[in-house]
A and B are shown apart, each in its own frame.
Chain A
Amino acid sequence: MAEDVKKPEELIQIDYGPPKRSWMDPTVKFERGSYNYAAVKDNQEYLSLPFPRKWQPYEDDWQLPDGWEEIIFKGFKERLEKYRSLRIFMDICVRCGACADKCHFFIGSGDPKNMPVLRAELLRSVYRNDFTTAGKVLGKFAGGRKLTVGVLKEWFYYFYQCTECRRCSVFCPYGIDTAEITMMARELMNLIGISIEWIGTPVANCFRTGNHLGIQPHGFKDSIDFAVDELEELTGVRVEAPINKKGAEILFVAPSADYFASPHYYTLLGYLQLFHEIGLDYTWSSYASEGGNFGLFHSAEMMKRLNSKIYMEAKRLGVKWIIGGECGHMWRVVHQYMDTLNGPADFLEEPVSPFTGTRFENTRATKMVHISEFTADLIHHNKLKLDPSRNDHWRVTYHDSCNPVRAMGLLEEPRYVINSVCNNFHEMPENTIREQTFCCGSGAGLGTDENFEMRMRGGLPRANAVQYVHDKHDVNILLCMCAIDKATLPPLLEYWVPGVEVGGVHEMVGNALIMKGQHDRPTDLRGTPYEQDGKEGDDNV
């Protein structure tokens, strides 16, 4: 900023002028708050990734390896041959513009390069230059661009400004999935040692200890035990939470933030109550101690490695099938890629609820049931005793987390559960929920401190819809089913809509669930006391 000091009279000149540069000009500025730090060398080494080094995006010299253009060219070629979808996505876009104004980063920043069509064009222009006859001959005139350091920096800037949320693809008449284009661009950058810290570190930790903070097995056990103790204080009921129990019927996998972060933790308490109350024969795994698949943000190979630990643990523990918790990208991987990456999971059985007999046919390939499907089925069959008035202090709205809704079509189950456990549920406007949900703005590895301003921009459309129901219905909690949401929506709302908390669906289930042998439970799971008449004071809002 300092180099741009203007004269006072210049400061009040607002620029009406035509664009200073064409979109083909790749210059980007790494402004504070709008990019992520580079991956740490040690972790790159730990994961045996190529060209580990110390560098930062804001430095002029990225210390690119010799022949880096050739490495990317080869990698691109290889992927075009391997993934037919990539070749199609590169070829068929007619630039109709239907996706252009659908990305939350464009909507919240006004930066045209955040239009999905232009984001994809960053890769496509190089494709055209190197892989199409017209581009080879006509270059720029056919929309082709040579891969230069400038273009590479622009790739880094904008492909780490895509949360891979797939909202744009809902509107594309050809089904072009810009998220997959981003995934490919990130893979190509990985080949020359370019990735970000908040992907590299979690991936390395997940690989080493099973979860993204690197918590070791005894730490994991300690965390779960602590929750069991706390739940006993809150409810008077001592639940069991078996870990690594061989021969249990079901393996349960949740995002690790559920046991160390707030407000995730209250959702963990909800799971524990639920499983205890129905008498589920299940186990946690201290190695599959993370649902979140940070590999998805890195490369197909990492995604495969991290997904496989869930299935390896299922095999080792000899369970029949798997239930997964309130996680986002874990589900995208399970639902869309698992079967090709690590399938078939034929050592497991087709999931059947031991309490209702419901056969979860939709999970025949993966043998993994989403907890909201499982709970909705229990409620539907009257297997739970619920008192929704225990959530009357909450006026609730629901954020469809991108991955469960767009990658697996989980629309009704969470709503059914919420409506069964809460009396005051208000939907946000139609074009901001369900398939059209707006991303939290911080997924796919972008939820960092250094990227804070960009996250606030990307999250503006979501927050704006929350503001609307907050003003109209006095909504005071935003529920969601994703650990990244639970981590990144609180700061988002603190900035845009103060006064609205964030919580999980199973936190509400936990509050409403009447347990055998419970004491009066004078507080909700957050420890906030209910008022004498059964309602609760406003002091937590």
Chain B
Amino acid sequence: MTLQELLTKNRERVVEKWRQGIIDTYPVDGRGFLRQQDDRFANPIGYVVREETDRLFGCLVNDTDPEATRSSLDKLIRIRAVQDFLPSEAVSFVLLLKPIIRELLAEEIETHALHDELQTTEDAIDGMQLMALDCYTLCRDRISEIKVNDARRSTAKLIERLNARLAEGSTGNSCNNADKDNDR
């Protein structure tokens, strides 16, 4: 038996344990809801965790197109990047897969002497972890960009008008009360 076969056979168990680990990064009284409410619109976090962990696991086992891995990671991390997590806490759920696989499948790995393959899979998990870090950084960069755009939009027409009046050569004094930096 190869490790790929072993992982495929145990997909449900491993992924379920992984999901649980991710849900357990949230405060205890909210976990039941995140785990159990299966309406995707009533519980978007739970839905994304459910769907994307399975997809990511599939990517890992079947060595699929990295774009698929990136897209699943992005969905998970986009959420975690705006929640109360330190950067390390936001992305480290990927590494959680390693002890889960080792614990759950210890016996079979031993029996079938799959240590080398396990090493390769763990390297792939490390790669995924790095990709997660990229996703996180991109999300945070995006937030900075959005904040800049947002400030612009909030007084867009005032500024446009002011500029138009300036161009006409009349400075106009109508907007002098509306240019404080906290205006939105």
Contacts and interface: CB of A to CB of B under 8 A. Distances in A.
A16 B23 CA distance: 9
Contacts of B164: 226
A26 to B, nearest CB: 15
Contacts of A108: 44-45
A353 to B, nearest CB: 30
B42 interface: yes
A106 B30 contact: yes
A479 to B, nearest CB: 17
Interface string A151-176: 00000000000000000000000000
A495 B28 CA distance: 27
Nearest to B84: A31
Contacts, number: 165
Interface residues of B, number: 55
Contacts of A226: 157, 161, 164
Given A197-B182, A265-B156, A223 B25 contact: no
B11 interface: no
A107 B153 contact: no
A261 B156 contact: yes
A16 B21 CA distance: 7
Given A213-B183, A261-B155, A447-B184, A218 B174 contact: yes
Contacts of A14: 21, 24-25, 92-93, 96
Contacts of A215: 174-175, 177-178
Interface residues of A, number: 66
A287 interface: no
Contacts of A279: none
* Max count, chain A CB within 10 A of own CB: residue among B28, B79, B82: B82
Interface string B37-78: 101111111000000000000000000000000000000001
Contact of B82 (A11, A456, A461): A456
A12 B95 contact: yes
B30 A110 contact: yes
27 contacts: A1-B86, A11-B92, A101-B37, A108-B45, A109-B84, A110-B83, A112-B28, A112-B29, A197-B182, A198-B182, A213-B155, A213-B183, A214-B177, A223-B158, A261-B155, A261-B157, A263-B153, A265-B157, A431-B42, A449-B151, A452-B82, A460-B44, A461-B42, A461-B44, A490-B149, A491-B146, A495-B146
Given A14-B24, A101-B33, 10 more contacts: A12-B92, A16-B21, A198-B184, A214-B178, A226-B164, A259-B157, A261-B157, A447-B184, A487-B153, A487-B184
Interface of A: 1, 4, 6, 11-12, 14-16, 18-19, 23, 31, 33-34, 100-101, 106-112, 115, 197-198, 201, 209, 213-216, 218-219, 221-223, 226, 257, 259-263, 265, 429, 431-432, 447-449, 452-453, 456-457, 460-461, 464-465, 468, 487, 490-491, 494-496
Smallest CB-CB A-B distances: 10 pairs: A219-B174, A112-B29, A110-B26, A262-B156, A110-B30, A456-B82, A19-B28, A464-B44, A222-B174, A214-B177
